[in-house]
């Protein structure tokens, strides 16, 4: 059993190494086995096929999957009894995580550029996890004139696009350099402001 787990770990790490050097499109059974220095037959034995191995890698590295248990714990934390504060923390952490993880930056680029059942499966899994936390906001915005799911869509999409655009097309985006400490802090502050505006607008609507 120890050898099995060690081999699986080598294969998952090999996936990450290849992605970092050459991107997702360069993944293949033979290349992964070579980097991991194991027999390619073990990929089929332990994972079934290449797609399941890639999924195993993504589950260990994707923000929404890595922090799923942590975010559930945050829900029960008194510090985040306010769902607005919880959503701010989740989105700010998403920005920090995605900005620092080149593998996930490549994953999103791959998702956007390919029509793949594997990518759809990964997206759907991520979506279902994010859904759990958006459900926390539904009651607060019920019957109001603010669609917070639409706000969240723009924020999540904006986080991905801003980081990817900055990395691949230059340091500045809307005149801001988010590779600097000051630029990152401004983005984090803006996330908090937008979520707070949405929650405050819903409160004012209920009071009117």
**Whether the predicted pLDDT of 78 surpasses 90:** no
Structural domains counted in the chain: 2
User: Could you give the percent of the chain with pLDDT greater than 70?
Assistant: 90
User: Within 13 Å, how many C-alpha atoms sit on residue 19's CB side?
Assistant: 21
Domain residue limits at 139: 62-207
Q: Does one domain contain both 18 and 113?
A: no
- Tell me, rounded to whole angstroms, the distance of Cα 7 from its chain centroid: 26
Q: Per the structure block, which two tokens stand in for 168?
A: 């691949």
- The span from the CA of 103 to the CA of 61, in Å, is 8
pLDDT confidence bin for 129, thresholds 50/70/90:
confident
d(CA 163, CA 145): 30
β-strand partners of 172: 177
Q: What pLDDT digit, counting tens, does each position of 31-61 carry? A: 999 999 999 999 999 999 998 898 888 878 7
Number of helices (H), then strands (E), in the chain: 11, 2
Q: Determine the pLDDT at residue 74.
A: 64
Domain boundary among 15, 38, 59: 59
- Domain of 14: which CATH number? 1.10.10
Reported as half-sphere exposure (CB side, CA atoms, 13 A), residue 203 has a value of 7
Write down the pTM of the prediction: 0.78
Mean pLDDT over 137-163 rounds to: 89
CB–CB of 187/202 below 8 Å? Answer: no
For residues 136 and 179, membership in a common domain is answered with yes
DSSP letter (8 states) at residue 25: G
């Amino acid at each position: 059993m120890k050898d099995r787990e060690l081999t699986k770990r080598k294969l998952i790490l090999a996936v990450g190494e290849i992605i970092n050097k050459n991107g997702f499109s360069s993944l293949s059974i033979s290349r992964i086995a070579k980097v991991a220095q194991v027999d390619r037959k073990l990929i089929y034995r332990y994972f079934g096929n290449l797609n399941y191995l890639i999924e195993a890698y993504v589950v260990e590295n994707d923000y929404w999957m890595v922090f799923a248990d942590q975010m559930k714990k945050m829900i029960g934390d008194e510090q985040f009894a306010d769902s607005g504060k919880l959503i701010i923390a989740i989105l700010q952490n998403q920005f920090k995580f995605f900005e620092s993880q080149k593998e996930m930056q490549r994953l999103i680029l791959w998702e956007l550029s390919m029509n793949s059942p594997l990518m759809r499966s990964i997206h759907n899994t991520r979506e279902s996890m994010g859904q759990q936390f958006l459900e926390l906001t539904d009651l607060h915005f019920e019957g109001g004139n603010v669609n917070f799911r639409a706000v969240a869509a723009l924020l999540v999409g904006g986080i991905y696009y801003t980081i990817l655009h900055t990395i691949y097309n230059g340091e500045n985006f809307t005149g801001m350099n988010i590779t600097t400490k000051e630029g990152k802090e401004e983005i984090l502050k803006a996330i908090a402001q937008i979520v707070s505006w949405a929650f405050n607008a819903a409160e004012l609507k209920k009071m009117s």
